[in-house]
């Protein structure tokens, strides 16, 4: 039961949310893998936005009343007649429009310019040369030059009447175009990806400078909106949530708890694939009595069940599926004992959605199966409530802080649902897990001690069961390898390997080899994503 003062606070919060949300942008989706990144950049500069597909119903844009519109990229080519087009209502709205890649091509083609298919795709870093005085680029370039990220096949060969070329590269004579009178802009490159170094500034320039949005949309508003949405979705029902102690499920738990109070029950499954002391830490942070959240937490010890199910399996997708299925069994058995549960809460975040199911247009292929998406709800006849589904990791963290969660919890490195099973390559064996846990704990301890933990986005050890030679005394011994991985990223869709000091890596290596029997070699992973992923699997 919420008292009157809570309701009054909620009323004020609702009004603030509504006011901030009124200054909004519309993102029209042409199916690009980066569309959600556009939305995320817009939120990052303090502006509310929504993504809608290019075939919105007649009258939608006027009713939505955006202050500006961004047209996403897309996998198609406008040089074919059957591909998506910008609805006329976009231009009829009379608000600024920014076309990105495909969005720019469509704009050029539809407004009387020309687009041609290139013989080769331009993909990767490029540097544009911007014209001085352009509303989008002014003040953001270094003497007119700006490093950007390109990914396109077609190019604009003639700008439409009223437009001028505002930037070029060696291979793209029209890298950007603008019609300042109608406030229409097109960029060939992708300002939404972090490789475009001033990308967020460009989005800010468009959303706030050109479209005039105040920038009052905050992580607190995102949280309030999500809380209101949860209340509307679940009504007076009870919700059960699988809490892993990771950032996503913790923030989801806090949000659900704020929304529905004691109608939330959390279940923590110890799958035997956790890090050193992790179970104790999660219990201490969340268990009823003495914790800030005061959640109703049920711990289930299912380590034996998971390890037995994984025995003999060495194929990554099979391992993931086994863990997913076992998790479902265990969770279901536990949840069925709880009375009257109708909903399953999940800390699914946007990258989980895209990597599992791909975009609405089915263009991105399935990269891996995340066990935290799908399966359970059908079997348990539960409906899903996923309050973080549209958010990226760093936004989830900001929402967690806005909800008052402790910083150490919110800024914990992410840990995958299948746990250490994706970090023991091949078959998961108890003895490998024991070695990996200790190596991982040494790595994290040294990172914290050297003040590097918060400077990297994710760091962990990986167990490689390949026999590699080492010398102990006079004897040659064949033992296994530990790989260290540390990456820097903001969105986890792309990542750079972290340039840790050699001295730190050296210290971790000698501690692992001296303190843990069975490791003959420690290596450091210097691969970025793409093409490598963060986890080794
Ligand atoms: P990759 O390896 O795809 O990882 O570059 C991106 C981020 O996702 C995490 N990850 C997972 N998280 N369930 C999760 O909840 C999973 O199955 C899973 N697989 C990878 C990974 O740790 C990294 O942060």
What are the tens digits of pLDDT across the range 87-112?
A: 999 999 999 999 999 999 999 999 99
Q: What is the pLDDT of residue 358?
A: 43
Angle, CA 19 vertex, CA 403 and CA 398 arms, to 5°:
25
- Of all protein residues, the one whose alpha carbon is nearest to atom 4 of ligand 1 is 534
pLDDT (0 to 100) of residue 472? 82
**In the predicted model, what is the mean pLDDT of the chain?**
90
Distance 523 CA to ligand 1 centre (A): 21
pLDDT band of residue 42 (cuts 50, 70, 90) is very high
User: Which tens digit of pLDDT belongs to each residue from 397-418?
Assistant: 999 999 988 888 899 898 998 9
- What is the rounded CA–CA span in Å between residue 382 and residue 234? 11
Catalytic residue flag (residue 192)? yes
Q: What is the pLDDT of residue 533?
A: 95
Catalytic-labelled residue, pool 44, 192, 278, 479 = 192
Instruction: State the pLDDT confidence band at 13, using cuts at 50, 70 and 90.
Output: low
Residue percentage of the chain with pLDDT more than 90: 74
Q: Residue 20: its pLDDT value, please?
A: 85
What is the SS3 assignment for 383? strand
101 is known as an active-site residue: yes
pLDDT given at position 16: 78
Given a cut of 70, whether residue 11 has pLDDT beyond it is no
Instruction: Give the separation between CA 388 and CA 214, rounded to whole angstroms.
Output: 25
Structure tokens at 220: 């607190």
Q: How far apart are CA 293 and CA 403, in angstroms?
A: 10
Lowest-confidence region among 95-109, 347-361, 462-476: 347-361
Residues with CB under 6 A from ligand 1: 370-372, 414, 416-418, 422, 458, 492, 529, 533-535
**Category of 59 on φ-ψ map: left (φ > 0), alpha (ψ -120 to 50) or beta:** left
Which range is least confidently modeled, 172-186, 298-312, 360-374, 476-490?
Answer: 360-374
User: Averaged over 37-50, what is the pLDDT?
Assistant: 94
Identify which has the larger pLDDT, 371 or 343: 343
Active site annotation includes 190: yes
Given the residues 49, 76, 105, 190, the one annotated as active site = 190
Polymer length of the chain: 537
Q: What is the pLDDT of residue 374?
A: 55
Q: What is the dihedral of CA 361, 395, 37, 352, to 10 degrees?
A: -40
Confidence of residue 15 (pLDDT cuts 50, 70, 90): confident
Query: Is the model's pLDDT at 289 over the cut of 60?
Result: no
Locus of tokens 């479902």: 328
Match 């078959």 to its residue by tokens.
427
**What band does 246 get if pLDDT is binned at 50, 70 and 90?**
confident
Q: Is the pLDDT score of 251 beyond 50?
A: yes
Candidates 416, 418, 462: which one to mutate for ligand 1, based on the most atoms within 8 Å of Cβ?
A: 416
Judged by DSSP in three states, 81 sits in: coil
Closest CA to 425 of 279, 304, 525: 525
Distance, in Å, from the CA atom of 392 to the CA atom of 494, rounded to the nearest integer, reads: 12
Q: Is the pLDDT of residue 189 over 50?
A: yes
Task: Using most ligand atoms within 8 A of CB, pick from 391, 413, 534 the residue to mutate for ligand 1.
Answer: 534
On the question of pLDDT at 290 being above 50, the answer is no
Q: Between 430-449 and 502-515, two packed helices, what is the crossing angle to 10 degrees? A: 140
Give the mean model confidence (pLDDT) for residues 134-145: 94
DSSP string, 205-271: IIIIIIS-------HHHHHHHHHHHHHHHHTT-EEEEE--SSHHHHHHHHHHHHHHGGGEEEEEEE-
């Amino acid at each position: 039961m919420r008292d009157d003062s809570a309701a009054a606070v909620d009323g004020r919060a609702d009004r603030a949310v509504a006011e901030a949300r009124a200054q909004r942008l519309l993102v029209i989706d042409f199916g690009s893998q980066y569309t959600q990144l556009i939305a995320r950049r817009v939120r990052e500069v303090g502006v509310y936005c929504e993504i809608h597909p290019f075939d919105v119903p007649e009258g939608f844009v006027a009713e939505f009343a955006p202050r500006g519109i961004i047209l996403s990229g897309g996998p198609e080519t406008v040089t074919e007649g059957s591909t998506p087009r910008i609805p006329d209502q976009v231009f009829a709205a009379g608000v600024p429009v920014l076309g990105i890649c495909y969005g720019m091509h469509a704009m050029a083609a539809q407004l009387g310019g020309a687009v041609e298919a290139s013989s080769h795709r331009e993909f990767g870093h490029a540097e544009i040369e911007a014209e001085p005085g352009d509303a989008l680029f002014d003040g953001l370039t270094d003497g007119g030059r700006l490093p950007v990220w390109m990914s396109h096949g077609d190019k604009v060969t003639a700008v439409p009447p009223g437009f001028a070329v505002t930037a070029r590269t060696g291979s793209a004579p029209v890298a950007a175009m603008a019609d300042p009178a109608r406030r229409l802009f097109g960029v060939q490159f992708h300002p939404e990806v972090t490789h475009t170094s001033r990308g967020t500034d460009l989005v800010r320039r468009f959303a706030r400078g050109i479209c005039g949005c105040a920038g009052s949309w905050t992580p607190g508003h995102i949280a309030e909106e999500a809380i209101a949405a949860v209340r509307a979705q679940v009504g007076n029902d009870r919700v059960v949530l699988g809490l892993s102690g990771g950032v996503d499920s913790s923030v989801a738990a806090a949000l659900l708890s704020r929304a529905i109070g004691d109608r939330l029950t959390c279940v923590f499954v110890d799958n035997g694939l956790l890090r050193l002391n992790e179970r104790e830490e999660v219990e201490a942070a969340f268990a009823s009595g003495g914790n800030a959240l005061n959640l109703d937490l049920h711990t289930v010890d299912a380590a034996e069940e998971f390890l037995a199910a994984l025995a003999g399996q060495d194929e990554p997708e099979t391992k993931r599926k086994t863990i997913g299925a076992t998790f479902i069994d265990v969770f279901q058995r536990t949840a069925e004992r709880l009375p009257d549960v109708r909903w399953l809460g999940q800390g699914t975040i946007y990258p989980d959605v895209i990597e599992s199911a791909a975009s609405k247009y089915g263009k991105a292929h399935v990269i891996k199966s995340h066990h935290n998406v799908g399966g359970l709800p059908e079997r348990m006849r539960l409906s899903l409530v996923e309050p973080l589904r549209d958010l990226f990791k760093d936004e989830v963290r900001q929402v967690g802080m806005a909800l008052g969660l402790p910083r150490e919890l919110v800024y914990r490195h992410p840990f995958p649902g299948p746990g250490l099973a994706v970090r023991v390559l091949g078959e998961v064996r108890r003895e490998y897990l024991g070695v990996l846990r200790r190596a991982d704990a040494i790595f994290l301890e040294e990172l914290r001690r050297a003040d590097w933990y918060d400077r990297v986005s994710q760091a962990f050890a990986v167990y490689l069961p390949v026999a590699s030679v080492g010398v102990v005394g006079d004897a040659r011994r064949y033992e296994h390898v530990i790989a260290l991985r540390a990456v820097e990223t903001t969105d986890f869709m792309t990542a750079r390997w972290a340039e840790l000091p050699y001295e730190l890596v050296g210290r971790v290596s000698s501690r692992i080899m001296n303190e843990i029997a069975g490791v003959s070699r420690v290596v450091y992973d210097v691969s970025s994503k793409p093409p490598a992923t963060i986890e080794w699997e």
